[in-house]
């Protein structure tokens, strides 16, 4: 839905923002996506803050997955060595 934000949201001369969902490239994946669209319109600073926090968490999760994969590779290597003996 956010990828469609520029297509959906227009600003009138009075400064009011109008959403036309009929211009969307695809239907919203969920009601939550529509809610985030509303948040991005009403409180853009809050929306950006939440997105930044989410991206930071995603990076942490990615690092954790990489560490776990390395640990699993080490365990597999040890088990392979033990199996050879």
Q: How many domains does the chain have?
A: 2
Place of tokens 């934000």: 5
Q: Within 10 Å of residue 24's Cβ, how many Cβ atoms?
A: 16
Are 19 and 48 members of one domain?
no
Domain shared by 30 and 52, yes or no = no
Are both 13 and 29 inside the same structural domain? yes
Percent of the chain with pLDDT over 90: 0
Q: What is the pLDDT of residues 2-20, one digit of tens each?
A: 677 788 888 888 888 888 8
Domain span holding position 75: 44-85
**Judgement on whether residues 34 and 50 belong to the same structural domain of the protein:** no
For residue 14, give Cα distances in angstroms to 10, 20, 40, 47, 82. Answer: 11, 17, 19, 23, 74
Residues 8 and 21: beta-carbon distance below 8 Å: yes
pLDDT of residue 60: 74
Query: Do 36 and 57 lie in a common domain?
Result: no
pLDDT of residue 39: 84
Same domain (yes/no): 67, 56: yes
């Amino acid at each position: 839905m956010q990828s469609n934000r520029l297509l959906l949201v227009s600003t009138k001369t009075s400064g009011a923002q109008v959403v036309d969902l009929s211009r969307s490239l695809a239907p919203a994946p969920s009601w939550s996506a529509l809610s985030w669209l509303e948040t991005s319109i009403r409180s853009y600073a809050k929306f950006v803050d939440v997105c930044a926090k989410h991206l930071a968490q995603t990076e942490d999760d990615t690092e954790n997955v990489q560490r776990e994969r390395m640990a699993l590779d080490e365990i597999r290597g040890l088990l392979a060595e033990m199996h050879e003996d």
